[in-house]
């Protein structure tokens, strides 16, 4: 439970998120979030960076609940990138510890709620306890039919594409038979739809190597709100913004008059 929040408060948050939901027909089916700003959140409060990561991890719970109430079917959260290994060793160890504890603490409740936990990225190089915790959580929730919660941990978009190409080469698929569907089948996300909406917190306006192939037609939403402060009302605002957009995928509106042949 979040620090300072009672069970009644969490129920109120869930009710508020439900009340703020938009028409499920227009809403995104798959939302992916770049959870950015933990360090800055801590710095603003004179706290060590690891305190920001702890608060950011706690925030996952309320955003997961809000996603369900907004009718989102797939939620992908970027928790640790392949580039994050460049950070100080103490911070990396702290992040690993926090995630390991969160998985142990939250998996039973996620399973009870019917959520399915997945992972994209590489489990190589992770501490044995964390790796085992991730695999156990995936196995426990494998057959659940509720929200599909995917953690992108030790993940990088370019690394994913390289892995896919290597798999295709290893499979001996002739070049002439390789198309977009072939590549998509060899991605980490092969079993889930591409994201409709990608949200990045903290005010940065870039994807930073996140879901590079899958984001080709995704709507992007950038907010200055730091991840630990990103609540159900912010997720609602992103979903409502998405619902107002005109997604044509390179075409034109069927109701738009044809002005020229160009």
The CB-side HSE value for 205 (13 A sphere, CA atoms) comes to 0
Range in 106-120, 209-223, 236-250 the model is least confident about: 236-250
In the sheet that holds 197-200, the strands lie side by side as 116-120, 148-155, 74-81, 30-34, 197-200, 219-222
pLDDT of residue 125: 80
Residue 257 belongs to a domain: no
* CA separation for the pair 142, 37 (Å, rounded): 31
Per the structure, the complete domain to which residue 75 belongs is given by 24-201+216-234
Number of domains in the chain: 1
Angle at 59 between CA 24 and CA 209, to 5 degrees: 80
pTM, rounded to two decimals: 0.85
Residue 223 belongs to a domain: yes
**Cβ(33)–Cβ(205) under 8 Å?**
no
Strands, E assignment, the chain? 30-34, 74-81, 116-120, 148-155, 197-200, 219-222
| 194-205 burial: b if 16+ Cβ within 10 Å, else e | bbbbbbbbbeee
Look up the CATH number of the domain holding residue 36. Answer: 3.40.1180.10
Position 254 pLDDT exceeds 80 = no
Residue 67 belongs to a domain: yes
Position 253 pLDDT exceeds 80 = no
pLDDT of residue 249: 62
pLDDT of residue 124: 87
Residue 56 belongs to a domain: yes
* CA separation for the pair 79, 85 (Å, rounded): 12
Give 164's pLDDT tier (boundaries 50, 70, 90): very high
Position 13 pLDDT exceeds 50 = no
Position 32 pLDDT exceeds 50 = yes
CA nearest neighbour of 217 among 30, 82, 25: 30
pLDDT in tens, 94-128: 999 999 999 999 999 999 999 999 999 999 888 89
Residue 85 belongs to a domain: yes
Residue 210 belongs to a domain: no
Residue 180 belongs to a domain: yes
Active site residues: 36, 84
- Average pLDDT for residues 122-145, to the nearest whole number? 94
Residue 253 belongs to a domain: no
């Amino acid at each position: 439970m979040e620090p300072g929040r009672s069970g009644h408060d969490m129920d109120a948050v869930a009710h508020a998120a439900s009340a703020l939901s938009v028409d499920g027909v227009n809403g995104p089916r798959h939302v992916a979030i770049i959870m950015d700003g933990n360090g800055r959140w801590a710095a603003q409060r004179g706290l060590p960076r690891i305190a920001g990561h702890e608060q950011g991890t706690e925030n996952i719970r309320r955003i997961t609940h809000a996603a369900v109430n907004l009718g989102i079917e797939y939620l992908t959260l970027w928790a640790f990138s392949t580039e994050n290994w460049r950070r100080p060793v103490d911070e990396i160890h702290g992040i690993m510890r926090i995630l390991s504890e969160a998985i142990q603490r939250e998996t039973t409740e996620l399973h009870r709620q019917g959520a399915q936990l997945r992972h994209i990225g590489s489990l190589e190089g992770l501490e044995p306890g964390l790796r085992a915790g991730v695999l156990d959580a995936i196995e426990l929730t494998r057959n659940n039919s509720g929200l599909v919660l995917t953690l992108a941990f030790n993940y990088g978009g370019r690394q994913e594409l390289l892995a896919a190409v290597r798999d295709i080469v290893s499979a001996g698929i002739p070049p002439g038979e390789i198309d977009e569907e072939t590549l998509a089948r060899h991605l980490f996300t092969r079993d889930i739809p591409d994201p409709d909406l990608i949200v990045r917190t903290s005010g940065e306006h870039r994807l930073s190597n996140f879901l590079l192939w899958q984001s080709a037609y995704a709507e992007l939403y950038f907010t200055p709100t730091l991840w630990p402060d990103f609540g159900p009302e912010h997720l609602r605002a992103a979903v409502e913004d998405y619902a107002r957009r005109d997604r044509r995928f390179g075409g034109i509106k069927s109701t738009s008059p044809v002005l020229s042949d160009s």
